[in-house]
Structure 1
Amino acid sequence: MPNPFNEQVIEEFRANGGRVGGYFEGARLILLTTLGARTGTPHTTPVGYYPDGGERVLVIASAGGAPRHPDWFRNLVAHPRVTVEDGVFRYEADALVLERAERDRMFARAVEADPGWAEYQAKTDRVIPVVALRALPKDGPPNIEADSMAEALKLVHDAFRRELTLIRKEVTEQGAASLGAQLRVNCLTLCQGLHNHHTGEELGIFPMLAGHRPEAAPVLDRLRHEHERIAELLDELRRVVAAEDADPGRVLSEVDRLTSELEAHLTHEEEQLIPFLDLAGATR
């Protein structure tokens, strides 16, 4: 039976490239589509997630500490192939329920990031499961929920903006004592994502534009130089985050520096590149 609250969140999520307000505002959120355990009917549920580096994300079947597992968890146990939407990309994934030792490590990492998970566990006798969602390898470009290259670029940029805002908030709330394990993963995942995005632009969008719009050459040259500068900032953030005695204050300083220069780069790229992308799309 449809859940009115979930339906509203799903509609808002899809209409706004992953941005929602209300209860989920400022949270990392995905839409998880599972097949009903008995019926095989698709069901979509908004769930929070944690980056895990590489090709997987983690979701926690807390159900707010209820005595029973949530429906989406029972569904994926029966049918582990699921669909994930993150506001930019839509992809198929395999769901793996983590075994106890790994589950305990990942759950502890989540509790370190948000003590509310421990409160949920304390409310129930069941061991709250942690599930890894691993994206399936796919030939060709990823499925972006956009109608044009220009729209896709803006969606990707906005996702990086949101993630940087979240990381900055998390570093600030972490305090001066230590840098949590999940926060380290979040930072390193962001760094890898930005690197992959810029590499994709330089191998895909830039050569395409150079061929269709030769007058874009000065813009592309400047953007390549900006990519080099962002790469330097990412390398420094990686170095600071990976240090055994990482200082949250130093991490915050590097996140602020990256945020400032990356926002200027993203804004400049949108102002200069999107008109060329629109022209290239119109002539193809």
Structure 2
Amino acid sequence: MPNPFNQQVIEEFRANGGRVGGYFEGARLLLLTTTGARTGAPHTTPVGYYPDGGERVLVIASAGGAPQHPDWFHNLLANPRLTVEDGVFIYEADAVVLEPAERDAVFARAVEADPGWAEYQAKTDRVIPVVALHPIPKDGPPHVNAGSMAEALKVVHDAFRRELRLIRKEFTAAVGTDGTRAPGVPLGAQLRVNCLTLCQGLHNHHTGEELGIFPLLADRHPELTPALDRLRREHERIAELLEELRRAVAQDQQDTDPGRVLSQVERLTTELEAHLTYEEEQLIPLLTSPGASR
């Protein structure tokens, strides 16, 4: 049974599509359900995570700099298969502890994003492990933490909104509110990865909509054709903005213009929010009507 603090976070996380307040407000958070190394019983723990530019995500077994690894890490050493909840999707994953060279590079990236990790490492003699979580491929659509297609659409959209807010907040903290930075200071490596992961996630989401939900709705609701045509055009426009952002953050660090990238993030945020709102206005009423199914 989780301790009372963790249990409160878990319940709030599940009830609000991954959104929590208090200590974890505004953080990237996962719920990991591991198998107890000694008991074999399931244990759920909220942990912070970092995107890694692809499907895998990274978690750090800091335990706040305690002398011992956290229980969830010991569980993963004994049973690497676990369940991950990210507020939108629930999936099985395999945990892989990073080898020293990769661990050091990833940990340095995390420290650059949040110096608190270095403080935790300084408090303990153990080398704080970094763990990669690799989703297990499965047939069929992903398991979305939602009770209907309409709710699933809103949950996914809200996740993109949260991630964009986080990236804008991190970017502003890194480069200043005016978008400038001291000469020769590179844009943070983890911030680059966060941007690239967002770009890939939005691309995948829009591709899935055009292959799945759009044809379904077009077949059932011919009157929706103008709205779907508009949404497809907006997908193309957002794809252009994502490609501009991807190219900008993929440059060599010394060549990146922070002001330009921040401007692109702001423009993407504005146009994507308008797109998501319009899509919800057009599609959610139909997805919640009698006869709509998951």
Partner in structure 2 of residue 42 of structure 1: 42
Render the CA deviation track for 1:44-77: whole Å, top value 9, x for unaligned.
Answer: 0000000012120000000000000000000000
- Say whether residues 1:262 and 2:272 are aligned partners: yes
Q: How far 1:281 sits from its partner (Å)?
A: 4.1
- Corresponding letter in the other structure for 2:38: R
Runs of 4+ in 1 over 3 A off after TM superposition: 280-284
Q: Report the TM-score when normalising by structure 1.
A: 0.98
Asked if structure 1 preserves the Cα contact closer than 8 Å seen for 2:35 and 2:79, the reply is yes
Name the SS for the 2:144 alignment partner: coil
- Say whether residues 1:32 and 2:40 are aligned partners: no
Partner in structure 1 of residue 66 of structure 2: 66
Separation in structure 2 between the aligned mates of residue 117 and residue 249 of structure 1, nearest angstrom: 27
Name the SS for the 2:271 alignment partner: helix
Separation in structure 2 between the aligned mates of residue 2 and residue 65 of structure 1, nearest angstrom: 20
Structure 1 gaps, min length 5:
none
Asked if structure 1 preserves the Cα contact closer than 8 Å seen for 2:98 and 2:132, the reply is yes
| Aligned counterpart for 1:251 among listed residues 231, 255, 261 | 261
Name the SS for the 1:109 alignment partner: helix
Render the CA deviation track for 1:66-90: whole Å, top value 9, x for unaligned.
Answer: 0000000000000000100000000
Q: How many residue pairs end up in the alignment?
A: 284
Asked if structure 1 preserves the Cα contact closer than 8 Å seen for 2:286 and 2:292, the reply is no
- Corresponding letter in the other structure for 2:17: G
| Aligned counterpart for 2:216 among listed residues 208, 212, 220 | 208
Asked if structure 2 preserves the Cα contact closer than 8 Å seen for 1:94 and 1:134, the reply is yes
Asked if structure 2 preserves the Cα contact closer than 8 Å seen for 1:174 and 1:248, the reply is no
Asked if structure 1 preserves the Cα contact closer than 8 Å seen for 2:149 and 2:293, the reply is no
Identical pairs, percent = 82
Question: Equivalent residues in 2 for 1:189-200 (5 A)?
Answer: 189-200=197-208
Q: How far 1:96 sits from its partner (Å)?
A: 0.3
Asked if structure 2 preserves the Cα contact closer than 8 Å seen for 1:82 and 1:92, the reply is yes
Partner in structure 1 of residue 178 of structure 2: none
Render the CA deviation track for 1:20-64: whole Å, top value 9, x for unaligned.
Answer: 000000000000010000111000000000001212000000000
- Corresponding letter in the other structure for 1:146: A
Separation in structure 2 between the aligned mates of residue 4 and residue 281 of structure 1, nearest angstrom: 42
Asked if structure 2 preserves the Cα contact closer than 8 Å seen for 1:89 and 1:144, the reply is yes
Q: How far 1:174 sits from its partner (Å)?
A: 1.0
Separation in structure 2 between the aligned mates of residue 281 and residue 173 of structure 1, nearest angstrom: 47
Q: How far 1:101 sits from its partner (Å)?
A: 0.7
Separation in structure 2 between the aligned mates of residue 2 and residue 97 of structure 1, nearest angstrom: 23
Render the CA deviation track for 1:177-197: whole Å, top value 9, x for unaligned.
Answer: 321111111000000000000
- Corresponding letter in the other structure for 1:115: P
Q: Report the TM-score when normalising by structure 2.
A: 0.95
Moved more, 106-115 or 168-177: 168-177
Q: How far 1:2 sits from its partner (Å)?
A: 3.0
- Corresponding letter in the other structure for 1:148: S
Distance change in 2, residues 1:38/1:49 (3 Å): same
Separation in structure 1 between the aligned mates of residue 290 and residue 174 of structure 2, nearest angstrom: 45
Separation in structure 1 between the aligned mates of residue 146 and residue 174 of structure 2, nearest angstrom: 35
- Say whether residues 1:279 and 2:284 are aligned partners: no
Q: How far 1:283 sits from its partner (Å)?
A: 7.4
Separation in structure 2 between the aligned mates of residue 9 and residue 128 of structure 1, nearest angstrom: 24
Render the CA deviation track for 1:212-238: whole Å, top value 9, x for unaligned.
Answer: 111111111110011111001001101
Asked if structure 2 preserves the Cα contact closer than 8 Å seen for 1:178 and 1:247, the reply is no
Name the SS for the 1:279 alignment partner: coil
Separation in structure 1 between the aligned mates of residue 112 and residue 85 of structure 2, nearest angstrom: 26
Partner in structure 2 of residue 109 of structure 1: 109
Partner in structure 1 of residue 88 of structure 2: 88
- Corresponding letter in the other structure for 1:275: P
Name the SS for the 2:133 alignment partner: strand
Asked if structure 1 preserves the Cα contact closer than 8 Å seen for 2:287 and 2:293, the reply is no
Asked if structure 2 preserves the Cα contact closer than 8 Å seen for 1:9 and 1:20, the reply is yes
Separation in structure 1 between the aligned mates of residue 229 and residue 29 of structure 2, nearest angstrom: 35
